[in-house]
């Protein structure tokens, strides 16, 4: 029996509208572990699209650690951290994460979460609750990740916060507004590595501004943790930053190869989030086996193997920067494994992604609202498991595809 009712009609019309605008996304099913070579819908593809930058997601030592963790702790945590879900594995993980940032943040303590998305909601809304309604300003980088944006939106709804967006390449307007700001709590919020462009936030300059105007600086280093810095400890290590007013967020499902995320900051901020960070308080703790596997991942990130994996990534980034030359498409200057190619229209990006797929590559088209209208792109990402030869072959293929797409666009 089929029936039609208003909500269903609205859903169907909304989806049809996405189709019309070439904005509908498709799920694709993989049949192999995340790696540089994957089986997708029964076809072998070379993947240049995951965030598994160090190539750890299918590392045998991590797979072993995950099973050992399952043997030792079972598969579920059974409750939120504050009830009975906080295991020795979580505690050890937080101690290790703290040790990675303690040179950079005074009196540091780390808190583990199930995802980066929830961490960002908890951190922004939790810290927003330190003051009275209406007594908070948030300064948020325009190109911040959706999870930071959503955290800010919630803080606005909950605390009537004032929000100012700033361009991270142009900090004058940020200081101009801060000069006039009389609120007692000010949060400056930024991605460490911008997820769709791959460039770095000017963290040192932002910290100086935070110090000058008595603000807290929240840095979401989702794409820098594991990748940046000699030891892979992230953007604070790379930029040699030390401060007691940084709230550092790292994710553990990208370079760390597993799942989850953490915030590291002065102990008092973390204790407040344990008490008041709603996504922390009201959510079941991640299975301890995951925390156990993550301990192995941190060990690798910090080891000679981690250094070698980062050296391989840096070699790939150099080859790309030196050798990839487009005639029409725009390459963004990025020193990270995120190397976007801007095509502009949704149609061109979709066509390029389809031709890449035909040639055996998995690089999806990234379209609005993830990126600004008119800046649809291929978000190419490198993994330490890619070889220089893999990249040279990709460069040749992209040159061929650019010509095909450009010819088609001229014809249309």
Ligand X SMILES: Cc1ncc(COP(=O)(O)O)c(C=O)c1O
Binding segment toward ligand X, per CB under 6 A, in 113-121, 178-186, 332-340, 359-367: 113-121
First-to-last CA distance in the chain? 44
> CA 364, 370, 373, 374 torsion: positive or negative?
negative
> What DSSP designation does 218 have?
E
Contact 224, 192 (CB under 8 A): yes
The answer to the question of residue 87 lying near ligand X (CB under 6 A) is no
Per CB under 6 A, the segment of 116-124, 160-168, 323-331, 390-398 that binds ligand X is 116-124
Burial 177-206 (b: 16+ CB within 10 A, else e): bbeeeebebbbbbbbbbbbbbbbbbbbeeb
Of 362 and 402, nearer to ligand X (C-beta) is: 362
| Residue 115 found at the interface with ligand X (CB under 6 A) | yes
- Candidates 48, 100, 112, 117: give the one binding ligand X (CB under 6 A): 117
Q: Are 222 and 254 in contact (CB under 8 A)?
A: yes
Query: Using the rule CB under 6 A, which residue among 85, 253, 257, 277 binds ligand X?
Result: 253
User: Of the two residues 57 and 351, which places its CB atom closer to ligand X in the complex?
Assistant: 57
- Write down the residue that tokens 């916060």 correspond to: 161
- Interface with ligand X (CB under 6 A), residue total 13
CA distance 19 to 277: 38
Shorter beta-carbon distance to ligand X: residue 36 or 114: 114
Q: Pick from 101, 251, 312, 385: which binds ligand X (CB under 6 A)? A: 251
Site for ligand X in 188-227 (CB under 6 A): 191, 195, 220, 222
Sole window of 112-120, 150-158, 283-291, 389-397 interacting with ligand X (rule: CB under 6 A): 112-120
- Look at the block and give the residue holding tokens 């995320």: 261
User: Is the separation of the CB atoms in 81 and 275 below 8 Å?
Assistant: no
Q: Does 286 bind ligand X (CB under 6 A)?
A: no
Among the listed residues 86, 90, 145, 168, the single contact to ligand X using CB under 6 A? 145
- DSSP, residue by residue, 61-81: HHHHHHHHHHHHH-S---SBI
> Using CA atoms, how far apart are residues 299 and 259, in angstroms rounded to an integer?
16
Residue (220 or 237) nearer to ligand X, CB: 220
Minimum CB separation of residue 137 from ligand X in Å reads 22
Shortest distance in whole angstroms from residue 71 CB to ligand X: 26
Least separation in angstroms between CB 222 and ligand X: 3
What are the φ and ψ backbone dihedral angles of 105, each rounded to 5 degrees? -130, 120
Residue ranges binding ligand X (CB under 6 A): 115-117, 120, 145, 147, 191, 195, 220, 222, 251, 253, 261
């Amino acid at each position: 029996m089929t029936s039609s009712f208003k909500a269903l009609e609205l859903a169907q019309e909304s989806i049809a509208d996405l189709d019309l605008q070439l904005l509908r996304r498709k799920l694709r099913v993989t049949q192999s572990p995340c790696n540089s070579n994957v089986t997708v819908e029964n076809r072998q593809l070379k993947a240049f699209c995951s965030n598994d930058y160090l190539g750890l997601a299918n590392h045998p030592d991590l797979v072993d650690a995950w099973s050992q963790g399952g043997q030792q702790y079972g598969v579920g945590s059974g409750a939120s951290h504050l009830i009975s879900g906080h295991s020795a594995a979580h505690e050890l993980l937080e101690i290790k994460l703290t040790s990675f940032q303690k040179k950079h943040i005074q009196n540091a303590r780390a808190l583990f979460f199930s995802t980066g998305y929830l961490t960002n909601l908890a951190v922004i809304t939790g810290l927003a609750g330190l003051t009275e309604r209406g007594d908070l300003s948030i300064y948020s980088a325009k190109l911040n990740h959706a999870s930071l944006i959503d955290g800010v939106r919630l803080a606005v709804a909950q605390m009537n916060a004032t929000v100012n967006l700033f361009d991270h390449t142009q900090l004058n307007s940020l200081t101009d507004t801060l000069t006039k700001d009389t609120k007692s709590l000010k949060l400056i919020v930024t991605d460490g590595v911008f997820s769709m462009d791959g460039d770095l936030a000017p963290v040192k300059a932002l910290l100086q501004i935070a110090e000058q105007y008595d603000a807290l600086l929240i840095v979401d280093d989702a794409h820098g943790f594991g990748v940046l810095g000699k030891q892979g400890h992230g953007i604070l290590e790379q930029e040699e930053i030390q401060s007691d007013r940084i709230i550092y967020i790292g994710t553990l499902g990208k370079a760390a190869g597993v799942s989850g995320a953490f915030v590291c900051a002065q102990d008092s901020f973390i204790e407040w989030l344990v008490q008041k960070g709603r996504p922390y308080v009201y959510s079941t703790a991640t299975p301890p086996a995951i925390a156990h596997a993550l301990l192995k991942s941190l060990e690798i990130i910090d080891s000679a193997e981690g250094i070698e994996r980062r050296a391989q990534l840096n070699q790939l980034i150099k080859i790309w920067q030196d050798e990839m030359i487009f005639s029409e498409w725009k390459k963004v200057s990025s020193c990270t494994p995120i190397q976007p190619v801007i095509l502009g229209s949704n149609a061109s990006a979709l066509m390029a992604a389809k031709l890449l797929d035909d040639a055996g590559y998995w690089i999806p088209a990234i379209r609005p609202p993830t990126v600004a209208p008119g800046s649809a792109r291929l978000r190419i990402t490198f993994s330490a498991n890619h070889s220089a030869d893999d990249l040279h072959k990709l460069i040749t293929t992209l040159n061929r595809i650019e010509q095909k797409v450009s010819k088609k666009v001229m014809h249309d």
